[in-house]
Amino acid sequence: MLENLSHLALQHYWWVIISLLGALFVFLTFVQGGQTLIYTIGKTEGEKTLLLNTLGRKWEFTFTTLVTFGGAFFASFPLFYATSFGGAYWVWLLILVAFIIQAVSYEFRKKPANFLGAKTYEIFLVINGVAGTILIGTAVGTFFNGAEFILNDMNQVLWQNSARGLEAVLNIHNVALGATVFFLARTLGLLYFIYTIDDETIVNRSRKRLIYCALPFLVVFLFFVIFLFLKDGFAVNSETGVISVEPYKYWNNLIQMPLALVIFLLGVVGVLWGIITVLFRNRDNGFLFAGPGAVLTVFVLFILAGFNNTSFYPSLSDMQSSLTIQNASSSRFTLVVMSYVSLIIPFVFAYIYYFWRAMNRKKITDEEMNNESHVY
């Protein structure tokens, strides 16, 4: 069945999976966003414990999605994996350190004799929340703005900037995406608190705080999107593989792919409705709209970066070294094998959804924290 698909079709299929994983990851950074708010929303130890426990039961999903995103990129577009990770060394290393310190913090924070003290682990979580989101957003910004690398005839990466990836922060558009992910994560974090915690003080405080996260999010998001649609992009000739600059490339992509446009608009409306319904209609389920809305929006941004004959990782040093879903992908055979394995993804989603619901059926309460045998 899948053997009959062309290499190009498989490359597109895998870009869709990468986009979906990337979108899910950005949505799941509500954990990171929530971590940056533990001192703002949690004023007492009990409140902080509630916040960290509702987040702590989900941190592994975010982490696992990031790992799977990396693994799937390695498998389907290994040239990107080799080029970006090997090239933008410092950016990725800093991101990794931010996630290393997160992984232990939940488990170690409340444990006796934890060596560094609870406060240190809380600070680790805040660092992970701030640096993790901003750096990843900024790194993904290079999908649209390019990076300084050359590939030799053995596809070995030769990075052209000694800052090894940190130079991405000099581009305002990259930083805008970093800030967008950061404020989106905080907005989603607040919506998650409101949705899952049964504690009036925390919920009221989160509602009040929401506008201060949602507004900056909307401002930087709009800036990022308008900038994106007005800027030049890197187009690839599907016959020759030659890369060239095309004005309004990403806007053209959106218009030329009407389905992407519809999904994008649905996503944006979802996020806005999630915020509005909490802010102005006093509901507590905004997370259920804003979460999927974020997934759809980010999914389309990835699609715009790679579909419609676009280079998803442009080289600013040698345009013809730019990566496209055609020249960076695995062989057809490997993509077929992995595509068979990917058929299990709906099943994975189904059991995650089922068990997530089972675990979140009742809101988390202070009482539960006192009775539960495993508390973060």
Residues 28-67 within binding reach of another protein (CB under 8 A): 57-58, 60-61, 63-64, 66-67
- Distance in angstroms (rounded) separating the CA atoms of residues 233 and 207: 39
- Distance in angstroms (rounded) separating the CA atoms of residues 92 and 42: 31
Residue among 19, 35, 83, 311 that touches another protein (CB under 8 A):
83
β-partners of residue 243 are: 236
Positive/negative CA dihedral, 70, 342, 60, 187: positive
* CB closer to another protein, 68 vs 201: 68
Interface of this chain with another protein, residues 242 to 271, rule: CB under 8 A: none
Interface of this chain with another protein, residues 199 to 218, rule: CB under 8 A: none
Residue among 247, 355, 365, 370 that touches another protein (CB under 8 A):
355
Residue 75 structure tokens: 């498998």
| Closest approach of another protein to the CB of residue 46, in Å | 18
Residue 83 structure tokens: 């080029």
**CB-based contacts of 326: which residues, under 8 Å, 6+ apart?**
8, 11, 236, 241
**Is residue 76 a contact residue for another protein (CB under 8 A)?**
yes
**Is residue 116 a contact residue for another protein (CB under 8 A)?**
yes
- Distance in angstroms (rounded) separating the CA atoms of residues 224 and 177: 6
- Distance in angstroms (rounded) separating the CA atoms of residues 60 and 181: 19
- Distance in angstroms (rounded) separating the CA atoms of residues 267 and 332: 32
59, with CB counted inside 10 A (0-12, 13-18, 19+), is buried
Interface of this chain with another protein, residues 122 to 141, rule: CB under 8 A: none
* CB closer to another protein, 7 vs 283: 7
| Closest approach of another protein to the CB of residue 223, in Å | 30
- Residue count of the chain, please give it: 376
| Closest approach of another protein to the CB of residue 352, in Å | 5
The DSSP result for 328-349, as a single string, is: TSPPHHHHHHHHHHHTTHHHHH
**Is residue 87 a contact residue for another protein (CB under 8 A)?**
yes
* CB closer to another protein, 258 vs 346: 346
* Residue owning tokens 């345009």: 319
**Is residue 334 a contact residue for another protein (CB under 8 A)?**
yes
**Is residue 352 a contact residue for another protein (CB under 8 A)?**
yes
> Site for another protein (CB under 8 A): how many residues?
78
Interface of this chain with another protein, residues 138 to 157, rule: CB under 8 A: 152-157
- Distance in angstroms (rounded) separating the CA atoms of residues 87 and 139: 12
| Closest approach of another protein to the CB of residue 27, in Å | 15
**Is residue 10 a contact residue for another protein (CB under 8 A)?**
no
DSSP-derived secondary structure letter, 81: I
User: Binding segment for another protein among 27-35, 74-82, 140-148, 307-315 (CB under 8 A)?
Assistant: 74-82
**Is residue 365 a contact residue for another protein (CB under 8 A)?**
no
Positive/negative CA dihedral, 122, 216, 188, 101: negative
DSSP-derived secondary structure letter, 244: E
* CB closer to another protein, 102 vs 253: 102
**Is residue 93 a contact residue for another protein (CB under 8 A)?**
yes
**Is residue 20 a contact residue for another protein (CB under 8 A)?**
no
Residue among 8, 43, 44, 100 that touches another protein (CB under 8 A):
100
* CB closer to another protein, 105 vs 308: 105
Interface of this chain with another protein, residues 174 to 193, rule: CB under 8 A: none
